[in-house]
Structure 1
Amino acid sequence: MPKRGYHHGNLKQALVDAALGLIETKGPQGFTLSEAAKAAGVTPAAVYRHFQGREDLIAEIARQGFEIFADLMEYAYEKGQPSALASFESTCRAYLAFARKNPGHYQAMFESGLSVNRTAELAAAAARARDVLEKAAAELSEHIPPGKRPPSQMVSAHIWAMSHGVVELYARGTPGGRTPFPAEDLLETGIGIYLRGLGLLPPDA
């Protein structure tokens, strides 16, 4: 009886899909290549046709995750046009939505300890996702007087950090994740406070 990984003709993707399931249950450092091979229905030796080690497999998962993430961010950005504020807020909400819908990819991307520069393909995918938020931040920052305008990369980095913190602490059931407020509300109010500090939103009445 042929191995399941070979049967559908795409062993590499079968290993990625198997590893995604393991990451979701055990974390990016909690499984072995042998376990991924077993879950994919192939022998451990077959893994090395595509991946030299577990980190190479995780890097491919992270690359695919960043491609999905970038597509979602671009869609969110376009959805908010022509309003710079709406586009910016939409991309921020997309971050949280991605983390919830793609927990395995998210962990491979941000919790595996893997450098985004491990491969050129991974670096390019990560840069595409980052560029969307930086573009949204740059458009929004045009409403700030030049002398008071922070670099758009700094604005996007602040928002990225805030989004990541909300995901890690309040959106994924991790320790410290109990809060009486929905993660979406925490992120929205946090971004609102930040934007008011920049003078991009009117103060609360």
Structure 2
Amino acid sequence: MHSKRRYHHGSLKQALIDASLELLAEGGPSALTLTEAARRAGVSPAAPYRHFAGRDALMSELARHGFETFGARIEAAWSEGRPDAQSAMRAMCAAYLKFARDEPGLYAAMFGQAATLADPGAGGAADHALEILWRAVVAWLQQAGAPAQGARYAALQIWAAAHGVAMLTISGHFDSVKTADSALILDAAAQGIMEGAVARAKEAKT
């Protein structure tokens, strides 16, 4: 059983966020309520309303936190396209899957409902993460000698593939020992998407 944590003056919001992240890690989004977050933080049930209008507002704040952390990790893995765009994309896809495996509850909260991203902070953090992927696609096309036409569409395809593989992985459908290596599956999907994007861009150029 978790003991109630003490929070210092002025840090109630962070204490509630920390408690909420624990709840997400333990039971996913369904385990998160304002009442339980307050209990875990060691404050009264009314205390969260000083910072959050309701559960949706708390979920938006958690999504913002999640997308900022997620974006930082995939951007670091991308490493400005070093040593080349294809290798860097592979590293970025691996970082995507690692985040989902390490933070399954938070990942589910981030992507569970698009309405969560209506908040400018959460939505902006999500857009930034997608922009990193878009920049990676542009770099791959440029290194292949193709124009950046269709880069956003290819980025959305890779995002969809990565999300699908991530969800199948964290739900236990993909097992590197028993069934399939999720990293290899995502690598192959990204490679196929980019080969198609390069071919289409070159065809449109002629």
Aligned 1:22-101 pairs, distance under 5 A: 22-78=23-79, 80-101=81-102
Q: Is the 8 A contact 2:137 2:154 kept in 1?
A: yes
Matching residue of 1:203? none
Segments of 5+ residues of structure 2 without an aligned counterpart are 200-206
For 1:182 and 1:7, the matched residues in 2 are separated by 45
- Which residue in the other structure is 1:20 paired with? 21
Residues 123-202 of structure 1 aligned to structure 2 (within 5 Å): 123-142=123-142, 143=144, 145-146=146-147, 150-169=149-168, 171-174=169-172, 176-177=173-174, 180-198=179-197
Matches of 1:177 and 1:7, distance apart in 2: 43
- Asked if the contact 2:17/2:62 (under 8 Å) is kept, the reply is yes
Q: Relative to 1, partners in 2 of residues 1:128 and 1:50: Cα closer, same or farther, differing over 3 Å?
A: same
Amino acid at match of 1:130: L
Q: Contact between 1:80 and 1:88, CA under 8 Å: does it hold in 2? A: yes
Please, what TM-score do these two structures have when normalized by structure 2?
A: 0.82
State the 1:198 CA deviation: 4.4
Please give the alpha-carbon distance, in whole angstroms, between the structure 2 residues aligned to 1:139 and 1:120.
28
CA deviations on 1:148-180 (whole Å, 9 max, x unpaired) are x751111111111111111111x2135x45651
Aligned-CA RMSD value: 2.3
Larger helix proportion of the pair: 2
TM-score with structure 1 length normalisation? 0.83
Percent identity reads: 39
Task: Quote the residue 1:119 is aligned against.
Answer: 119
Q: Secondary structure at the match of 1:134?
A: helix
CA deviation after TM superposition for structure 1 residue 14, in Å: 1.3
Query: What are the ranges of 5 or more consecutive residues in structure 1 without an aligned counterpart?
Result: 201-205
**Aligned partner of 1:76: which letter?**
A
| Equivalent residue pairs, number | 193
